[in-house]
Amino acid sequence: MKKKLVVLTGAGMSAESGISTFRDAGGLWEQYRVEDVATPEGYERDPKTVIEFYNKRRLELLHSEPNEGHRLLASLERDYDVTIITQNIDNLHERAGSTHVVHLHGELMKVTSSFQPNNPKYIRTLSADAPEIHVGDRAADGSQLRPFIVWFGESVPNIEIAVDYCEQADIFLIIGTALAVYPAAGLLAYVPSSADVYLIDPKPVDVHSRRPVHVIARGASEGMKEFIAALGK
Q: Are 57 and 108 in contact (CB under 8 A)?
A: yes
Please report, in tens digits, the pLDDT of each residue of the chain (233 residues total).
899 999 999 999 999 998 876 554 455 545 678 888 999 999 999 999 999 999 999 999 999 999 999 999 999 999 999 999 999 999 999 999 999 999 999 999 999 999 999 999 999 999 999 999 999 999 999 999 999 999 999 999 999 999 999 999 999 999 999 998 899 999 999 999 999 999 999 999 999 889 999 999 999 999 999 999 999 86
pLDDT at 70: 98
CA separation, residue 96 to residues 72, 177, 185, 194 (Å): 9, 19, 25, 30
Name residue 103's beta-bridge partners.
86
Model-level pTM? 0.94
pLDDT at 25: 47
Which among 1, 2, 4 is positioned nearest to 195, based on CA atoms? 4
Annotation: CATH topology of 4-231: Rossmann fold (3.40.50)
Q: Which residues are catalytic?
A: 105
